[in-house]
Amino acid sequence: MDIITTIIQSIILVVIIAKTIKLVIGSRTCILPFFFALALGSNLLSNFYWIAYDLLEPGMRMPMACNEIVESAIILLLCAALETILKDKRTVASEIEFATLFIGTNIAFWIAWSGEWFQDILFGIPYIYFFWLLIRGLISRSSLSRKEMWQAIAASFMVLAMQIPLLITKGFVFEFTKMACLVVMVTLTIWLGVKSFRRKEFFLASTFFLWTELSMFLGFDFYYYLFFFANTIALLIMFSSMKKEIASDD
């Protein structure tokens, strides 16, 4: 299943990269699609590594390796892409603190689940900057209403809160919390996906992409592949949103 889903995403990535390169060539404001193409290219290379590793070492957990470096490169290149279109770059302390708290909490749970504290911290840091850029963009562009922002915040922190009993309980409590957590994660994924598809706004689509990434890290069994599929959908919506962004600038 890992190999099949990754191959499908890789084919879609090849198509999006080809179309993005055409935008780079044909657009006067080519910086955004340029960084987006680099990020997708890094994603594609990461997928190739996953496929090779799964074929050579089936069933083995991947060690700290180049794929984690590439995943950090994807996030940093997307940060560069967002920087090119973020007009309001004020450094609001509460936004930075919130981004640090939220991603820091995710990192803590990654460590709790995997025990790999060094790489989880090292490669988790770029997500803080990425999330701050998304917050600044969503607020400055009013991509979501205040009510919608608080709804998303509440749902995401519910997911994090439910990770605690999943770490320390067994039996019925574990299974009940697991299903409740997955219901919230899937609901927020669908909600963000629909919002992103309808509004075609690059910051919102990038937020959808980030949420699917975080959901994959905390996902279980079949649901991991569900969030992986949503991640692929997020890439397609990001491409459409980027074209709309370029059209508005041109």
pLDDT of residue 63: 63
pLDDT of residue 215: 93
7 C-beta neighbours (distance < 10 Å), count: 14
Q: What percent of the chain has pLDDT over 90?
A: 65
pLDDT of residue 118: 84
pLDDT of residue 18: 96
List the domain boundaries for the chain.
2-249
Per run of 10 residues, the mean pLDDT along the chain (length 250 residues) is 88 96 80 94 90 77 71 94 91 92 94 84 93 95 91 93 90 92 94 96 97 88 90 97 84
Q: For 103-120, give one letter per residue: b (16+ CB within 10 A) or e.
A: beebbbbbbeeeebeebb
Q: Bin 142: left if φ > 0, else alpha if -120 < ψ < 50, else beta.
A: left
The position carrying tokens 């780079």 is 24
Read off the pLDDT of residues 137-187 as tens digits, 9 standing for 90 and up.
999 999 999 899 999 999 999 999 999 999 898 899 999 999 999 999 999
pLDDT of residue 64: 60
pLDDT of residue 134: 97
Task: State the pTM of this model.
Answer: 0.93
pLDDT of residue 49: 86
DSSP string, 48-75: HHHHHHHHHSTTPPP-S-HHHHHHHHHH
pLDDT of residue 107: 94
Element (H, E) at 154: helix 146-168
